[in-house]
């Protein structure tokens, strides 16, 4: 009967799959020891795991036996004799002298341990560039930090190893206990276990029968890092295991025990790409947003690859601005954009895979279209991100407006913009006049002159619109500043079609400047609809105007009246526009 009971207990915790964060948390609360991290790999969705600070290799051996991960990374700068015996490649193939291997464990290979796992060992410090460069971002499911247990090293390790972690993965570390220090303000940080006496294993190894050393340095480093990551919550183990309790679950006590019963901390990397902003420290003016305005306008911006270094050069906004708008920022470099979350932005991480194939032109003219370029055009014209659809309008602002702002884009004040929209409820698109040129063909020539567009690309597009609209009409198409514009989000089929066509045309012709294309998509669709659903405002209308409000002088843009099947263009294009040889 006892053997049957042990068998049942030993297989019980392996019976249920651990697929979700809630299931894993519940499991670790029922089994509050770092030994059970291995079960998150064995019974969960994780395949790739890592230990930083392998020491004598006992905990790695525990993982390889109990979890059998597909890939197991080990980082240890000073392999000792025990680790050399377990894993000879840890010393670059050199075994320790035989006289030192008495009573040493035999190698993992000889015992069939790790034979189903891909093992990779780094004889290096945790922050050596050779390690950081070798592990791709978001490629590891579980990382356990157990190297240098001091504030300086732990504080420096957290961010680079967090970047290696896949969304949904776990970053954990050893020695999460303190004496009498006060925890910091972060999610889950109030509950920090007290350090207790050394284990019998520690006493045998010369630690003495006394309280274990204070690990406040580790706790402080972790909690300061968490304060910069408000989306994360920290949890910890208790380490109340015994030899019997581990044996009942088929685990070897001698591979898990250390000098201390110090708990381990752990956090889950969110699967969601949205990162909430820090709570605003400044008190917002209650008049900055009128009742019911919260879902009227959202401010939207993006930057991919830290283009032109704009994310790095971000400047904090004024209190009034921060309080007025809900602000969303989309990027592939969330870690670089962290200061934006501290300043009230909601960050959302995206990748090149977020541009669906069906959104691209069926026949793409090959013009070296980069992933960052496709992302930029897709987020500007190709779709409305789901997070913005609960708002009536989106105020699009190129991110350069928040960096050095070389174009001097002016962001309209929220109160003025809200009043304007309530007076013009049928408006779907608000544009501002270009500050230097009046017509789109002038922008063509200027962008070619500044080498912002390739001459063959712009000529190809000019021939196409010339054949469709005629050269006389093409020369009269108005130009808009597209660093700032506002559009309605829902129930706008014609506007959506116009924007998607702009996106597809930019990609198909390899064009970079939006204002070279959008006016022609507008001319085509304005001839298909009626009403002042598009308004054009003078550039100075974005400046505060206490007498007339924000939008004085706005009206419908004037386009030439043409047929969409005009043929008054030569086969070679519109020569008088200065774009043909």
pLDDT in tens, 149-169: 899 999 999 999 998 999 899
Please check whether residues 282 and 206 belong to one and the same domain.
no
Per-residue model confidence (pLDDT) at position 275: 62
Identify the pLDDT of residue 232. 87
Residues 491 and 516 in one domain: yes
pLDDT (0 to 100) of residue 291:
38
Overall number of domains in the chain:
2
Residue 496 lies in a domain: yes
Tell me: do 243 and 339 sit in the same domain.
Answer: no
Are 210 and 313 in the same domain? no
391 in Cβ contact with 295 (< 8 Å)? yes
The answer on 236 and 303 residing in a single domain is no
Six-digit token string for 208:
């003495």
Tokens of 242: 């015994």
Residue 101 maps to a domain: no
Nearest-angstrom CA–CA distance, 547 and 175: 63
Shared domain for 239 and 305, answered yes or no, is no
CA distance 179 to 244: 29
Distance CA 504, CA 500 (A): 6
pLDDT score at 552: 65
From residue 454, alpha-carbon distances to 10, 20, 229, 434, 512 in Å are 68, 50, 43, 22, 9
- What number of other Cβ atoms are within 10 A of residue 498's Cβ? 24
Structure tokens at 577: 């526009």
Residue 508, domain extent: 275-577
Residues of the chain with pLDDT under 50: 1-14, 93-102, 279-293, 319-320, 322, 366, 545-549, 564-567, 569-572, 581
Q: Cα(454)–Cα(465) distance, rounded to whole angstroms?
A: 17
Shared-domain flag, residues 233 and 251: yes
Cα 319 from Cα 457, distance rounded (Å): 44
- Predicted local distance difference test score (pLDDT) of residue 546: 41
Tell me phi and psi for residue 333, to 5 degrees: -125, 70
Reported pTM: 0.54
What was the pLDDT predicted at 556?
A: 86
pLDDT of residue 509: 87
Tell me whether residue 417 is in a domain: yes
- Residue where one domain finishes, among candidates 271, 292, 323: 271
pLDDT at position 406 is 54
Residue 391 is part of a domain; what is its CATH number?
Answer: 3.90.550
Q: Is residue 208 part of a domain?
A: yes
* Strand arrangement of the beta sheet that strand 48-52 belongs to: 118-122, 71-75, 48-52, 140-145, 165-174, 264-268, 234-236
Boundary (domain end) residue, out of 271, 289, 311? 271
Question: Tell me, what's the pLDDT at 276?
Answer: 58
């Amino acid at each position: 009967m006892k053997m049957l009971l042990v068998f049942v207990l030993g297989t019980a915790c392996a019976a249920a799959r651990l697929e979700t964060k809630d299931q894993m948390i519940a499991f670790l609360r029922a089994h509050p020891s770092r030994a059970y991290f291995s079960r998150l790999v064995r019974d969960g969705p994780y395949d790739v795991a890592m230990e930083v600070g392998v020491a004598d290799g006992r905990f790695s051996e525990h993982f390889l036996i109990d979890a059998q991960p597909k890939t197991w990374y080990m980082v240890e700068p000073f392999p000792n004799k025990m680790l050399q015996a377990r894993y000879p490649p840890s010393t670059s193939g050199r075994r320790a002298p035989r006289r030192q291997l008495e009573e040493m464990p035999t190698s993992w290979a000889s015992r069939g341990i790790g034979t189903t796992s891909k093992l990779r060992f780094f004889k290096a410090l945790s922050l050596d560039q050779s390690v950081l460069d070798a592990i791709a971002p978001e490629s590891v499911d579980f990382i356990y930090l157990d190297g240098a247990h001091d504030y300086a090293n732990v504080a420096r390790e957290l961010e680079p190893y967090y970047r290696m972690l896949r969304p949904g993965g776990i970053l954990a570390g050893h020695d999460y206990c303190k004496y009498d220090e006060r925890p910091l303000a972060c999610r889950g940080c109030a509950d920090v276990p007290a350090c207790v006496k050394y284990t019998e294993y520690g006493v045998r190894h010369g630690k003495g029968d006394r309280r274990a050393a204070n690990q406040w340095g580790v706790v402080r480093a972790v909690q300061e890092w968490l304060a910069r990551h408000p989306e994360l919550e920290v949890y910890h183990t208790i380490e109340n295991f015994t030899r019997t309790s581990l044996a009942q679950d088929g685990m070897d006590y001698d591979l898990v025990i250390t000098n201390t019963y110090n708990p381990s901390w752990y956090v889950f990397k969110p699967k969601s790409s949205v990162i909430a902003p820090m709570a605003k420290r400044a008190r917002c003016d209650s008049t900055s947003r009128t009742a019911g305005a919260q879902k009227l306008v959202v401010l939207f911006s993006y930057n991919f690859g830290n283009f032109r270094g704009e994310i790095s050069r971000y400047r904090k906004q004024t209190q009034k601005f921060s309080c007025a708008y809900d602000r969303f920022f989309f990027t592939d470099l969330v870690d670089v954009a962290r200061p934006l979350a501290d300043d009230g932005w909601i960050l959302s991480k995206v990748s090149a895979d977020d541009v669906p194939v069906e959104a691209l032109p069926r026949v793409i003219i090959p013009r070296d279209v980069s992933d960052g370029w496709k992302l930029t055009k897709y987020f500007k014209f190709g779709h409305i991100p789901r997070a913005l659809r609960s708002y009536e309008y989106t105020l699009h602002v190129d991110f350069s407006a928040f960096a050095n702002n070389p174009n001097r884009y002016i962001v309209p004040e929220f109160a003025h913009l809200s009043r304007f929209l309530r007076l013009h409820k049928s408006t779907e698109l608000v544009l501002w006049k270009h500050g230097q040129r009046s017509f789109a063909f002038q922008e063509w020539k200027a962008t070619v002159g500044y080498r912002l567009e390739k001459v063959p690309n712009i000529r190809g597009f000019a021939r196409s619109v010339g054949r469709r609209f005629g050269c006389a009409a093409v020369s009269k198409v108005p130009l808009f500043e597209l660093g700032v514009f506002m559009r309605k989000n829902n129930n706008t089929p014609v506007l959506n079609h116009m924007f998607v066509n702009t996106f597809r045309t930019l990609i198909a012709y390899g064009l970079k400047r939006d204002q070279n294309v959008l006016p022609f998509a507008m001319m085509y669709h304005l001839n298909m609809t009626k009403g002042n659903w598009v308004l054009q405002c003078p550039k100075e209308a974005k400046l505060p105007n206490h007498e007339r409000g924000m939008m004085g002088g706005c009206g419908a843009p004037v386009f030439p009246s043409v047929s969409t099947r005009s043929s008054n263009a030569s086969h070679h294009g519109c020569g008088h526009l200065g774009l043909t040889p």
